[in-house]
A and B are shown apart, each in its own frame.
Chain A
Amino acid sequence: MTTLRGFWRSKTKAAPAAETPRILNTTETAVIPPTALIPIDLDIAPNDPLLAYIRQNPAVFDAAQLKLDSPAVAAMRQAGVRLPLVSQGELIGLINLGQRLSDQEYSSDDYRLMNDLATQAAPALRIAQLVQQQKLEAVERERIAQELRVARLIQQTLLPQELPALAGWGVSSYYQPARAVVGDFYDFLYFPDGKVGFIVADVTDKGVPAALVMATTRTLLRAAAERLEAPGAVLARTNDVLVQEIPPKMFVTCFYAVLDPATGHLRYANAGHDVPYHHTGQGVVELRATGMPLGLMPGMAYDEKETTLAPGDYVLLYSDGLVEAHNPARGMFGFPRLQSLLSTHADGATLHHFLLAELAAFTGPAWEQEDDVTLVTMQREGAVNSEQLTVNSHPVEFEIPSAPGNERLAMARVAEVVGDLLPASRLEKLKTAVAEATMNAMEHGNLYDPDKPARLKVFVEEAPTSTGSVRVTITDQGGGKPLQPAATPDLEAKLAGEQSPRGWGLFLIQAMVDEMHVHQDDQHHTIELVMHLADDHA
């Protein structure tokens, strides 16, 4: 529906400049006595024949004489509107004329004048409309950004500030919000008998509404858990209250478990949340328990199950941001991949790091995180490797401005992060590989453009006696072109002048590290360098 708003001049003799055409624009009201004006809105249906007529005849017409079966023309006839303002085939306004006070017809000169006026006025009015529209859009963008800030703030105040400190247990959590989504939360509840409740939940929807539902759900869960012990009963109670509070079409998936740290006994119930995994000495087991998401229907019952964590076992709670992450080929990370990764990883302390590295390798460097990623792990200490490293739980990331010689900055930073995790000789090799990869990124990828830095990430993973590793990724911004293959340079041919003396970079990198992987997308190349921590490759 096209709505043209304007002011209609009444036909009183007292009105000034009675024969001057007036543009229907609210900004002109100041020059016309308000008493002489009646506001009108003219609604034109999208299928009104007038619109087609105007596209073909973008000129003055006289509504009184136009023979068109059009509700809009009928309305104009009453109002006396004659002159359409058309810009790029679109009707954007009308100039409104009443009868001449002399009751004579408008002359052909008058029409010519009006046509000229319309031709000038239409584009100017269009520009004004576009500017107005842009302003509104900017306000809207700012409103959305502001809403997201509020949502994040609400969420940050809700997430636990501290991890449970339980003798004989290692608990870790990781939370990474997506840019435009806020929906996950987790919580720890402490009971007087020493038991600890673990909650991981995901609210459908995003922004402030999701954050408010999150806050409500958290409060309801806490209140229910205070009065009720059984996880199934806590979810049922929360559901019954939430269903009355929650906006339509929103719901909350939630896994709730109560751990007895003294025995490793874990009771749990699930309201439609992604099924957690229990890593045992015999393999990885799903913690299945059926139940509908919270907030959909009242009177739901929740299955309650139990298990016991033996020394060395861990349980991973997580949200769909991990398993539903996509790679550039639109493949999904998926549950089978997660389960098989868990089966290779026994150390809960480094689990998040390991999974995030695998996620990064899966999605590639250009990934824009689609949904919040939440990970909560509880591990019973005991049978795991006692020589655990203190691992930097996030990759150390930095940028190196693209300029000749700056690869030495990259070498120095990587050496700083890796420290004595690698024996000196292997650290030298890693440094050389980092230098060569950074040079390639700065020179060939970024063409030494100072505005395009090389980006480096250093990951330290796992314990020294198992499959631990130092992983360095170097990313440029020169994607598209394939990297030259790391062929073995032919020294004889080079000495004979048959081959350029250059071309050693990738060959050297490969020779220096235990593993080298190349990832590429439209914008970037990423070289991934891996050095195993176990010193059996030296």
Chain B
Amino acid sequence: MVEKKAVFMAKTKLAEETAVILMLGEINQDTDDALMTAYADAAAMQPAAITLDFSEVDYINSTGIALIVGLLAKARAAHIPLTAVGLSPHYREIFTITRLSDFIQIQ
């Protein structure tokens, strides 16, 4: 039984020209501010690329997908390529089905 309220945290660090956004928890309707703040932090580092690290994310719902679409739109406007790491096979498939994988390099 899942009783805990949705929890999300995002940390940003710069490693070799690439800003890494490390996410923890659920990406859903409550994630908006935290994720966008993390992106703003990452973009402010003027990186050559941004990596989204999903290895500590256990749930992404359709609202979460919408947030990632929004984040992708910003990154594309700023000409910053996005990479995703740590996606489970299931979410890898969802990125394929939604065609997010056409715009985000999945590793």
Contacts and interface: CB of A to CB of B under 8 A. Distances in A.
A191 interface: no
Interface string B71-107: 0110010000000000011100110011110110000
A502 B98 contact: no
A508 interface: yes
B55 interface: no
Interface string A276-298: 00000000000000000000000
Nearest to A405: B6
A351 to B, nearest CB: 34
B90 A435 contact: no
Contacts of B2: 408-409, 411-412
Contacts of B90: 425, 428-429, 432
Nearest to A443: B29
A143 interface: no
Contact of B72 (A495, A505, A507): A495
A189 B103 CA distance: 70
A436 interface: yes
Interface residues of A, number: 29
A461 B62 CA distance: 29
Interface string A494-530: 1111001111110110010000000000000000000
Nearest to A416: B1
Given A425-B89, A501-B73, A505-B62, A405 B98 contact: no
Given A491-B98, A495-B76, A508 B62 contact: yes
A505 B67 CA distance: 13
Interface string A411-425: 110000000000001
A436 B63 CA distance: 10
A133 to B, nearest CB: 50
A494 to B, nearest CB: 5
B65 A504 contact: yes
A170 interface: no
Contacts of A411: 2
B37 interface: no
Interface of A: 404-405, 407-409, 411-412, 425, 428-429, 432, 435-436, 439, 489, 491, 494-497, 500-505, 507-508, 511
Given A405-B26, A501-B69, A503-B66, 20 more contacts: A404-B29, A404-B30, A408-B2, A409-B2, A411-B2, A425-B89, A436-B61, A439-B61, A489-B98, A491-B98, A491-B100, A494-B69, A494-B73, A495-B72, A495-B103, A502-B63, A502-B66, A508-B62, A508-B65, A511-B97
Q: Which 8 A-B pairs give the minimum distances between C-beta atoms?
A: A504-B62, A428-B90, A501-B69, A501-B66, A502-B66, A408-B2, A505-B62, A511-B97
